Copies of this chain bind each other. A is one copy, B any other.
């Protein structure tokens, strides 16, 4: 496949997965499916739906699903896992946006959860989404083999907990308090945890669901780690360059806050070079994994990360 055709195919798949994820989240968060029956507080469900539905590229579910598809695995389990992962991602945004943390009023152009509802509801909707993600993954509907479900749960907890996403958020908040410039090593560590861990998990989860062998798993982990790092640098570059309308949030605000970004640590040019190199590393890892033409969509995801404008 040439780049143009591969790019087209990638955009089709990204769009398809975004729609499928939206439907799955809608279904998982509907009153027919949610646990608790009549006891579910409607306002809590409303807040969970507000937070999880109607937005985003759904890159994490995309990576779960496309990685599983490398192995011919196209069942609903990958979509459920992707939706659960998206719940974790969405809960983290809700908690990060709280007044005690980033104190943001807008997210994707809409009022943040604590503005649309209230702070208590936002905190609890976050807690409920985090908890429900494990419910969805541990459910036999996700995979008939409990060993697969257990591994998916364990790795999700590792990726999203104190050694992963939550730990990264703590480091990020601490970094803002510092007056000196952040070292490249510190920024890389922080970003590998705060955003990298969930993107890597997405790829690892697809490998687990697809039954990857050792060599394939290692190659896919390298792909996921490089892609995750490239994605975050690209985000920081966009934030530096971007305008408010395109991003739906105040652009340039990261610089004002002494945010730990590679743009700040290395400068814009060096950050762009590093982003591009990481994307190439991701593509090379797919080649090493021996996925051949089947890897084209994931390779395009790496190009997309570099080239995207929002």
- Write the residues of chain A forming the contact surface with B, with a CB cutoff of 8 angstroms: 34-37, 39-41, 43-45, 48, 95, 98, 100-101, 118-121, 123-124, 126-128, 130-132, 134-135, 138-140, 145-147, 149-151, 153-154, 156-158, 160-164, 166-167, 169-171, 173-174, 189, 192-193
Contacts and interface: CB of A to CB of B under 8 A. Distances in A.
A123 B170 CA distance: 10
Nearest to A98: B123
B40 A167 contact: yes
B44 A162 contact: yes
A261 B140 CA distance: 37
Interface-centre pick from A37, A150, A158 (highest chain B CB count, 10 A): A150
A149 B153 CA distance: 10
A45 B161 CA distance: 11
B121 A162 contact: no
B95 A166 contact: no
Q: What is the total number of copies of this protein in its complex? A: 2
Contact of A162 (B34, B98, B147, B164): B34
Interface-centre pick from A37, A101, A157 (highest chain B CB count, 10 A): A157
A159 B174 CA distance: 33
A126 B126 CA distance: 11
Contacts of A171: 41
Nearest to A169: B124
B118 A36 contact: no
